[in-house]
Amino acid sequence: MVALVRLFGWIVGCFCTYVHAQSADPLELIVLGSGGPGALGRASSSYVVLIDGTPRILVDAGSGAFVRIGEAKIALDSLDLVLLTHLHIDHASELPGLMKARAVSSSGPIAFKIFGPAGSPGIGGGAYFPSTSRFVSLLFGPRGAFAYLRDFAAPITIEPHDVRAQPSVLSFGNFTVSTVGGHHGDAPAVIYRVDHAGKSITFSGDIDAEGIPALRRIAAQTDLLVFHAVVLDPPDSPAVLYTLHTPPRAIGELARDAHVRRLLLSHLSPATDSGRDAVVASIGRSYAGPVTLAQDAMHVRP
């Protein structure tokens, strides 16, 4: 009798999973953090991508993402793929906490795949940045700051991957992730595009003018482009910020040229948040598609 009850439960579980997969959108985005490095009420950059209704991909892990993922009641049992656009604090600082939260949510083995930029040696006046593999080792390696995590709650295997500037396409069963090098001042950066079931989401990361050609190519015909909007059109932001970020008029031109179907502005600064009407109007001079400004906890379906 007990065996029959367990069999019935297994059948019901499989049926519910099937119904959920059939009814869910193929791609969905949850914005965990829509702000920048300032402690101004928004979490810093972080997103979760759902594949057929299941949270599968974490894109960046900025400050505040840990709390937002709990508030959204996001299931962590399949969230094992991490895509880091670059290693600034407001994009990577909460990785240890989120990984530990994933570990204590499961009693079985976990295999994390973490992708991010290759490093920069910091010569010639530029800042030093470790490669993603070195960054992961410093955190979770045998002599890392959080070495204990590997067998604290569940056995954890961590596979770091340094993404080079050349375009590549990574396959993860029923979805793909395309990568190409971005450009964010002296910080090595990566642009990502997720494709599944005829839908796509592209993440610019923080990007300056030198990264625009690569972004234009990888974002071609994308359903949703998540673009980090930090500065106003020149000369209304400090000059140094234009060596790190893209102004609204250039965002509109890129979205038009790449035939982007929808634009989501995130990583908002106080200037772009308070000047949202001017930002959207500037983008609209070139781009006729819908433009939305992100909020923490926002759900977006491409």
**Does the bond joining 235 to the residue before it have cis omega, within 30 degrees of 0?**
yes
pLDDT score for 192: 98
Three-state SS at 184: strand
User: Which residues have a Cβ under 8 Å from the Cβ of 39 and sit 6 or more positions away?
Assistant: none
Q: How far apart are CA 163 and CA 118, in angstroms?
A: 6
Q: How far apart are CA 26 and CA 198, in angstroms?
A: 8
Q: How far apart are CA 3 and CA 92, in angstroms?
A: 47
Copy the structure tokens of residue 11.
């059948």
First to last CA, the chain: 47
Q: How far apart are CA 280 and CA 298, in angstroms?
A: 19
Segment 252-274 shows an average pLDDT of 98
Beta strands at 199-203 and 46-51: parallel, antiparallel or unpaired? unpaired
pLDDT score for 154: 85
> Which CATH number describes the domain made up of 25-297?
3.60.15.10
User: Is the pLDDT confidence value at 194 over 70?
Assistant: yes
**Quick one: pLDDT band at residue 13, thresholds 50, 70, 90?**
very low
Segment 152-176 shows an average pLDDT of 94
* Domain positions in the chain: 25-297
